Amino acid sequence: MTLTARPETAGGGFTVEGANFPTNRGGLCEKGLSSAELLAHPDRLTTPLVRDARNEPFREATWDEALDRVVTGFTVAQERFGADAAGLFGGGGLTNEKAYQAGKFVRVALRSASVDYNGRFCMSSAAAASNKAFGIDRGMPFPLADIARADTVMLVGSNPADTMPPAMRWFAAGRERGAQHLVVDPRYTATAAASDVHLQPVPGTDLALANGLLHLAIKHRLVDTTYVADRTTGWDAVRRAARQYWPDRVERITGVPVRVMERAVRMLAESRATMILSARGAEQHAKGSDTALAWINLALALGLPGRPYSGWATVTGQGNGQGGREHGQKADQLPGYRMLADPEARAHVAGVWGIDPDELPKPGASAYEMLDRLGTDGGVRALLIMASNVAVSAPRADHVRERLAETDFLAVSDLFLSETAELADVVLPCAQWAEEEGTMTNLEGRVLRRRRAARAPDGVRSDLSVLADLAARLGRGQFFSDDPETVFDELRRASSGGKADYAGISYARIEAERGVFWPCPDEAHAGTPRLFRERFATPDGRARFHVVHHRAAAEEPDAEYPYRLTTGRSRAHYQSGTQTRRTKALLDAEPEPVVDIHPDLAARLGIADGADVVLRSRRGTARLRARFASTIRPDTVFAPFHWSGDQTVNALTNPALDPASRMPEFKICAVSVEAAPAHHPAGEDASP
């Protein structure tokens, strides 16, 4: 998505328009169209805030005082508990420059291993699977526009009609050509309603469904045996494993009828150009990386990756979800998607940074593991959070809030006083998207420019500037710059030769070419819009099949918690709602969260449409308004996670982690559902 801000002729404000860009062709969603409202919002933070004690209210402070307090918090924690006691938690909304600088700051200025970010809660399972199968993680290995040229598209756990409306024009263009679409989702979403086939599995059974479709592909001789022989390894083991997923068994596991599976696999296999697009519904599980691998196995068996207008891809959600995970703010990574445990990677990046490789720490704890250990022996005691509201967005949110409150020192950089910032010792007011320069990398792997379109309010600073200033106060300022282009040029050198190679991408080139696709190893290289045409990014150039098996969710329904809760995004709101719940048009469109419940289940529980209900899990409770939905499974309820207070759905979710990606199991947990007491007051935090 590309946004263009321009001054209005009266009032001195801004409006937002969609640019005629190859990705979105001028289209914007409601969130983009209304985003200018936040630039001068009355809740906007414009002055640093500090507390003199945890139980005292905030007071305004100078930047010098606020940053000195952050440095003191870091220093005291490290002197008492060791280098890793100071850390940073970042976000997928940071520009490439800020994400790069965040990882470098922790490792060079703090000399700590303690850095991770909220993208661990989003893309990590797909990334782990893609790296295992293809040797590289780029969410979409082809341009978004290629969707319009595919003859068959299967969406697995994705609802772009609500979550990415501008992208739907590519699906619509395909349907105008006669393309067929399939949707795998426990809910009958707006995307499913526009599809030809809707497969409605039990939440958490997508892996079994993929293996069942593979079984049928083998049975009906639909496997592209030439492709498998020429371009892959590991097929024989996967073929044998698929025998266990005979149709009747898969129907019992998933609830998807055999006849629907039969139709689906033939549509996928008999099409000239077929795409399988996976997203968070299939991936935000404690087996999410295996589930993604199961769909990749199916795609490889059908010979899709590398074929024109075909392949497997995962759809990125956050604004810089792709670039944010490439350049070092993950606990195990260095810039260019190099791995921190690799001696050659350490030597290269240390050389660019001008330090000894031995100064670099070892890999640290993943996002939830870091949050879970805050304030404990061996955990982070002083934390800086940027571009993330983990008090709402993390799993087991009540526990995470407790851990945040137990840190010795907490600093938060944000636009508004978010639920996480309310717990902080220091709050730093940061610049917004329209007020800063930098780059972003979209879901296609296209590196884009972010141009300053508005002047930041007095008293507001960029996170890039804050990190450089903090480094100087820690005695490491010589390693850092606050100029975005200077930082990007260093990022180019640090990424050179890595999987995510930006060496040939410059600000000038991005402007001239309307974005450049990585990998782009030098300025003479054209960039790489489409991967895997000739080889995969593995040592032998072949893709890898992996044997993966269905296993039950980490928490299944029982007598006490008899229903499944699955969560997701709504059309009007985004992430923790810090910004969208402050946007009038979006709040008017969706003023409160609702829980979708099948009328039959509601009748059994004595719940009326529109009545308040209480959801309970082993971790917490949430109070939401019921909305009857005859299209949801009767054993499942759905709720969005954008609200706080007693409407915090992530108070219920399960932090069980995927062993490979460390992704929490957001998408399924066991809950009870009951009518709320009529006298219970609405939560104070239901809206800002």
Enumerate residue ranges in the chain where pLDDT < 50: 1-12, 680-688
Calpha distance 372→656 (Å, rounded): 12
Please tell me whether residues 191 and 269 are part of one structural domain: yes
Are the C-beta atoms of residues 663 and 284 closer than 8 Å to each other? yes
350: region left, alpha or beta (phi > 0 left; psi from -120 to 50 alpha): alpha
Domain boundary, last residue among 266, 288, 314: 314
Residue 647 and residue 604 share a domain = yes
Q: Is residue 684 part of a domain?
A: no
CB < 8 Å & 24+ apart, contacts of 348-356: 348/494, 348/496, 348/497, 348/498, 349/494, 352/490, 352/493, 352/494, 353/104, 353/108, 353/479, 353/494, 354/479, 355/108, 355/479
- Pick from 314, 333, 356: which residue ends a domain? 314
* Tokens encoding 163: 């979550």
Q: How far apart are CA 195 and CA 186, in angstroms?
A: 14
Q: Which of 648, 649, 652, 645 is nearest to 683 (CA)?
A: 645
Per residue, the 3-state secondary structure of 236-256, as one string, reads HHHHHHHCCCCHHHHHHHHCC
Same-domain status, 109 and 156: no
CB of 621 within 8 A of CB of 652? yes
Assess whether 371 and 472 both reside in one domain: yes
Tell me how far apart the alpha carbons of residues 99 and 502 are, in angstroms, rounded to a whole number.
14
Q: Do residues 345 and 232 share a domain?
A: no
Residue 29's pLDDT is 67
* Inside any domain, residue 508: no
241 HSE (CA, 13 A, CB side)? 19
Are 158 and 301 in the same domain?
Answer: yes
Task: Mark which of 270, 294, 314 sits at the end of a domain.
Answer: 314
Rounded distance, CA 227 to CA 225, Å?
5
Q: Is residue 525 part of a domain?
A: no
587 assigned to some structural domain: yes
Which H or E element spans position 1? none
Cα(645)–Cα(622) distance, integer angstroms:
8
Angle at CA of residue 234, ends 231 and 237, nearest 5°: 145
In a shared domain, residues 54 and 106: yes
Answer whether residue 687 is part of any domain.
no
| CA of residue 106 relative to chain centroid, distance | 22
Instruction: Write down the H helix ranges in 477-528.
Output: 484-495, 507-513
Secondary structure of residue 338 in the 3-state scheme: strand
* Cis peptide, bond prior to residue 599, ω within 30 of zero: no
185 and 256 share a domain? Answer: yes
* Cβ-contact 12, 34 below 8 angstroms: no
Q: How far apart are CA 86 and CA 330, in angstroms?
A: 15
Length of the chain: 688
Q: How far apart are CA 268 and CA 291, in angstroms?
A: 18
Angle subtended by helix axes 484-495 and 343-353, to nearest 10? 150
Within 10 A of 475 (CB to CB), how many other CB atoms are there? 9
Structural domain count, the chain: 4
Q: In whole angstroms, how far apart are CA 47 and each of 162, 375, 412, 435?
A: 36, 27, 13, 16
Residues 176 and 86 occupy one common structural domain: no
Residues 148 and 295 in one domain: yes
| Same domain as 199, residue 155 | yes
Residue 449 pairs with which residues in a beta bridge?
Answer: 439
Distance from C-alpha of 660 to C-alpha of 292, rounded to nearest angstrom: 12
Domain membership flag for residue 159: yes
CA distance 385 to 407: 12
Cα–Cα distance for residue pair 460/466, rounded to 1 Å: 10
Contact 200, 508 (CB under 8 A): no
What is the rounded radius of gyration, in angstroms, for the C-alpha atoms of the chain?
24
CA gap 335, 495 in Å, rounded = 5
Tokens read off for 531: 């991967």
- Tokens at residue 613, please? 């209900």
Q: 219 CB contacts (<8 Å, ≥6 apart)?
A: none
Q: Is 502 helix (H, G, I), strand (E, B) or coil?
A: coil
Q: What is the CATH number of the domain that holds 592?
A: 2.40.40.20
Measuring CA to CA, which residue among 306, 287, 255, 225 is closest to residue 542? 306
Any idea what the CATH number is for the domain that residue 178 is in? 3.40.228.10
| CB-based burial label for 472 (10 Å; 0-12, 13-18, 19+) | middle
- Angle at which helices 288-301 and 235-242 pack, to 10 degrees? 100
75 and 184 co-located in one domain: no
From the list 244, 109, 104, the residue with the least C-alpha distance to 551 is 244
Is there a domain that residue 357 lies in? Answer: yes
The answer to whether residue 20 is domain-embedded is: yes
Q: What domain range includes position 580?
A: 563-675
CA-closest candidate to residue 312, choices 593, 543, 94, 73: 543
Tens-place pLDDT, residues 226-279: 999 999 999 999 999 999 999 999 999 999 999 999 999 999 999 999 999 999
Q: How far apart are CA 648 and CA 620, in angstroms?
A: 9
What's 381's domain CATH number? 3.40.50.740
